[in-house]
Structures are given as structure tokens and as C-alpha cells.
């Protein structure tokens, strides 16, 4: 874990983050997408309770592997597991926050939100079919922009990533060619580009490479002052990445319709919906080998649901709706048990 990079992404001092990691009261690993908010929550939680969180930002694929291997108390993934996979592994799954994935670019003379892209154009860029910033398709979307005749350097994730799952899921929704040739998964065979590990790796690479484009969770773009592009959504409207546009995409989600609350929020209808919105999820064993550690982890997330909304919004994540949180708490009490007794008890 790159402490300097991740501490900066979360807006934390290095010493604070190290202190959280050293406490090691609660262990988790996985998605880089939610790392900024988990770090912020962990800092506040430790100050309030004295209990620490050791969270390894290693990517969704790593988080799934570690929780299945029972080497951590909880795993974290942005690519929700399907019901049969949860049942086979004996896992419960629940969402913590929602956020947006954004295209980020390093292009001289372009400010955040000045560049507009649509799904088909993004797909063609990441397939290597659009190779220059002054391509006709980009010019058509940006008639007033001064676009250079410069090669596009594509940056993508190199690790198993829920951010990649949601990004490629969106591209498969809007581009039949992408769906046929590349598809959607936590790791795909990228037609072009260079790989970087984690949202932080992509952020760093784009930030250092003139003429580049990548995709990251919005908090990383914001914290690293990266230039993001606006998008044309399913309703044909130009939208900016904001907590409001992420909320709009999630407004009609039926969370209980899918096992483990595994709703995919990409390419949702609505004039103000951000098309690359995603939730992030926690995985925990229904019959934990260490019930006390599982109880501590659930206390942390219970606290985050109760007291962490404002911190989430400060980083442009979207808190889960109250009715979903109540459903999740009921699920904890029903499904996560040791010796027939619930591990979680409602906090007063």
C-alpha cells in the first residue's frame, strides 16, 4: 500500500493513516474505489472509539480472494458477487456508499468539465480506434475546444478491479462493438494502453503523462486535481460528475431485488443521471471464524452509516438511503451468526 499516495487521496496526514494501520483492530482488504472514504471514516472512528481499521487498498479481486481465504475480517469489492457465488462461499454482501467513475485526461489548455465525451467515443478510444485528440468524433462533441493533434495515451487498470468491472459494464451497455470484442469483467484483455495498479496508480499515471486518458473513482480525480470529462448520458443530456448526478442514477434502484444488494447503476435513465455511477460492497462471512472481529467490523460500518454521511458527501460519495441501511442492519442480525446467535446487535 502506497501510504503517501493513499493518505493524500484521503486527505489524511501520513502519521494518522499509519496509526490506523498499526492498531489492526479490524482487518479488511479490497477495492481502491472506496479507499478515500474508508480512510476518512477510520480516522474519525479511531478518535471517537479508540478502535482502529487496517484496510489494504489492493483492488476488488484481491479483496475477494482474501475474504474467501479468511485472511481478513471483511473483503471489499465494487463488482458485486452474484447470489450463487455468495452462497457457495458462505458470504453476506452489503453496499456502503455510491460514487461515480469519471474519465480523466491530461490535456494542456483543458480545464475540468470543459471536455465532453459520450460512451461510444470513450469505447472507441479504449479500443484504439480513436487515436488522436483532434479526431472528428471528439471535435463534434467539442466544437469550441482547441483540441491538439496529439496521440491519445490510454491508461487502464492492471489489477482485478471493480472499477474496471463498472467501467467496462457501461461501455458494453453503450457500444455493441465493445460488448462483442472486449466485454465486461474485473479484468479484460485491453486492446490498447498501459496498465496501472489501483485507482491511485491510474491517477498518478494520468497526472504524469501528457495526452493521456484513464478512468478513476471521482474522489481520486478531485483529490489529485485531475481534469475530468463530462459525459452524455442515456437521455442524451450533458452531465457533470457530482453527488447529485450520482444520486440521480441511484434514485430508482431496487436494492432488494438482487441478492446481496448487487445492483448495477451504470447507464441508468434520467436527464440528470451520471452514466458511470457505481456502489461499493463489503463481503463478510455469515459464520465468521472470529465472531468478535466480525462484530467489531459490523460496529464500524454501523457507525459509518449513522455518522459518516457528511464525510462521504465531502468526498463526493453518496450515502445509502435510510431504508436500505435499515434493511442491511436486519440482514446482519439474521444472516451473520456464530453458534446460532447473531454477531451483530443493534447499537443504542
Q: Is the same domain home to 222 and 284?
A: no
Q: Is the same domain home to 43 and 161?
A: no
What integer pLDDT is reported at residue 146 of this predicted model?
A: 87
Of 252, 287, 318, the domain-final residue: 252
Q: Is the same domain home to 51 and 66?
A: yes
Task: Quote the domain boundaries for residue 76.
Answer: 3-99+276-342
* Segment 250-309, tens digit of pLDDT: 988 899 899 999 999 999 999 999 999 999 999 999 999 999 999 999 999 999 999 999
* Segment 83-97, tens digit of pLDDT: 999 999 999 999 999
What integer pLDDT is reported at residue 290 of this predicted model?
A: 93
Residue 68 and residue 181 in contact, taking contact as beta carbons nearer than 8 Å: no
Residue 72 has pLDDT above 60, yes or no: yes
Q: Give the separation between CA 172 and CA 131, rounded to whole angstroms.
A: 20
Residue 345 has pLDDT above 90, yes or no: no
Q: Is the same domain home to 153 and 295?
A: no
Q: Is the same domain home to 62 and 196?
A: no
Residue 21 has pLDDT above 70, yes or no: no
Q: Is the same domain home to 84 and 115?
A: no
In a domain, 267, yes or no: no
Average pLDDT over residues 321-333: 95
Residue 40 has pLDDT above 90, yes or no: yes
CATH for 132: 3.40.190.10
Residue 348 has pLDDT above 90, yes or no: no
Average pLDDT over residues 151-164: 96
Q: Is the same domain home to 73 and 202?
A: no
Q: Is the same domain home to 231 and 281?
A: no
Rg of the Cα trace of the chain? 20
Q: Give the separation between CA 97 and CA 36, rounded to whole angstroms.
A: 12
In a domain, 83, yes or no: yes
For the chain, how many structural domains are there in total?
Answer: 2
Lowest mean pLDDT across 14-23, 201-210, 328-337: 14-23
Q: Chain-centre distance of CA 308, in angstroms?
A: 17
Q: Is the same domain home to 199 and 110?
A: yes
Q: Is the same domain home to 206 and 307?
A: no
Amino acid at each position: 500500500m502506497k501510504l503517501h499516495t493513499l493518505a493524500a487521496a484521503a486527505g489524511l496526514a501520513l502519521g494518522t493513516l499509519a496509526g490506523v494501520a498499526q492498531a489492526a483492530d479490524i482487518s479488511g482488504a479490497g477495492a481502491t474505489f472506496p479507499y478515500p472514504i474508508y480512510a476518512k471514516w477510520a480516522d474519525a472512528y479511531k478518535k471517537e472509539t479508540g478502535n482502529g481499521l487496517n484496510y489494504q487498498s489492493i483492488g476488488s479481486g484481491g479483496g475477494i480472494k482474501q475474504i474467501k481465504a479468511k485472511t481478513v475480517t471483511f473483503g471489499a469489492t465494487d463488482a458485486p458477487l452474484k447470489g450463487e457465488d455468495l452462497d457457495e462461499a458462505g458470504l453476506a454482501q452489503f453496499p456502503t456508499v455510491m460514487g461515480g467513475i469519471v474519465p480523466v485526461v491530461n490535456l494542456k489548455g483543458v480545464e475540468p468539465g470543459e471536455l465532453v465525451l459520450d460512451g461510444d467515443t470513450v469505447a472507441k478510444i479504449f479500443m484504439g480506434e480513436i487515436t488522436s485528440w483532434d479526431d472528428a468524433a471528439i471535435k463534434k462533441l467539442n466544437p469550441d475546444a482547441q483540441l491538439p493533434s496529439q496521440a491519445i495515451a490510454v491508461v487502464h487498470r492492471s489489477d482485478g478491479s471493480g472499477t474496471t468491472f463498472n467501467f467496462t459494464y457501461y461501455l458494453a451497455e453503450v457500444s455493441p462493438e465493445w460488448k462483442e470484442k472486449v466485454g465486461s469483467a474485473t479484468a479484460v484483455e485491453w486492446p490498447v494502453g498501459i496498465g496501472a495498479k489501483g485507482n491511485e496508480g491510474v491517477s498518478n499515471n494520468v497526472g504524469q503523462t501528457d495526452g493521456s486518458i484513464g478512468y478513476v473513482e471521482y474522489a481520486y480525480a478531485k483529490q489529485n486535481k485531475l481534469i475530468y470529462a463530462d459525459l452524455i448520458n442515456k437521455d442524451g443530456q450533458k452531465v457533470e460528475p457530482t453527488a447529485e448526478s450520482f444520486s440521480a442514477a441511484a434514485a430508482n434502484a431496487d436494492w432488494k431485488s438482487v441478492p446481496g444488494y448487487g445492483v448495477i447503476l451504470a447507464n441508468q435513465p434520467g436527464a440528470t443521471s451520471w452514466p458511470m455511477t457505481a456502489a461499493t460492497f463489503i463481503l463478510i462471512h455469515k459464520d465468521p471464524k472470529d465472531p468478535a472481529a466480525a462484530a467489531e467490523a459490523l460496529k464500524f460500518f454501523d457507525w459509518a452509516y449513522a455518522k459518516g454521511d457528511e464525510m462521504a458527501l465531502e468526498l463526493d460519495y453518496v450515502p445509502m438511503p435510510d431504508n436500505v441501511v435499515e434493511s442491511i442492519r436486519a440482514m446482519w442480525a439474521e444472516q451473520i451468526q456464530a453458534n446460532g446467535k447473531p454477531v451483530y446487535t443493534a447499537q443504542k
